[in-house]
Amino acid sequence: MKKIKSKILLTALAVLFVVSQVSAGTGELNWLTDYNKAKEVAHKKGLPILVDFTGSDWCIWCIRLDENILSKKEFIKYANENLVLLKLDFPRKTVQPAELKKANNELAAKYGVRGFPTVLLLDKTGKEVGRTGYQDMTPAEYVKHIESFVKK
């Protein structure tokens, strides 16, 4: 009985190890939700800011952008090395703190956002250098698309 428990424990540990290695390989994105914090990090690291104005729980194109591009390993690798990420969400079903909602609305007005998703590339000072949204592209093509704004 003791040998069976040991084998089960070892198998479970092996499965956890494999799952953790697979997860580590794709990585995760560190989305900020505070504009001033994003500018601070961008200035410190000398990186541009990618701002995703999204309606995460209702906008079909926002959901597609996230599922088809932003959550894929090619984009994740590029973003983790080259961008500061700022997600400004405008959900309909999810409750947000009033101050976050107000801040997001003010930023949408400041940058003239009229539809979702709107993706902005800002320099480290917050100046807009590019504007896009959902594109029917592979993640690798989207990275090149984003790079075209950064290189200007």
Q: What is the CATH number of the domain that holds 62?
A: 3.40.30.10
Q: Is residue 138 part of a domain?
A: yes
Distance, CA of 78 to CA of 32 (rounded, Å): 17
Q: Is residue 43 part of a domain?
A: yes
What's the structural domain count of the chain?
1
Q: Which three-class secondary structure state does DSSP give residue 126?
A: coil
Token pair for 119: 């993706």
Q: Is residue 97 part of a domain?
A: yes
Q: Is residue 18 part of a domain?
A: no
Q: Is pTM beyond 0.85 here? A: no
Q: Is residue 2 part of a domain?
A: no
Look at residue 4 in the predicted model and tell me its pLDDT: 56
- Mind listing the pLDDT tens digit of every residue in the chain (152 residues)? 556 554 543 333 333 333 333 334 458 999 999 999 999 999 999 999 999 999 999 999 999 999 999 999 999 999 999 999 999 999 999 999 999 999 999 999 999 999 999 999 999 999 999 999 999 999 999 999 999 998 86
Q: Is residue 70 part of a domain?
A: yes
Domain range spanning residue 54? 27-150
Q: Is residue 137 part of a domain?
A: yes
Q: Is residue 17 part of a domain?
A: no
Quote the longest CA-to-CA distance of the chain. Answer: 68
Contacts 24+ apart (CB under 8 A), 73-81: 73/25, 73/26, 73/27, 73/139, 74/138, 74/139, 74/140, 74/143, 75/139, 75/142, 75/143, 76/26, 76/27, 76/28, 76/29, 77/27, 78/143, 78/146, 79/29, 79/50, 80/27, 80/29, 80/30
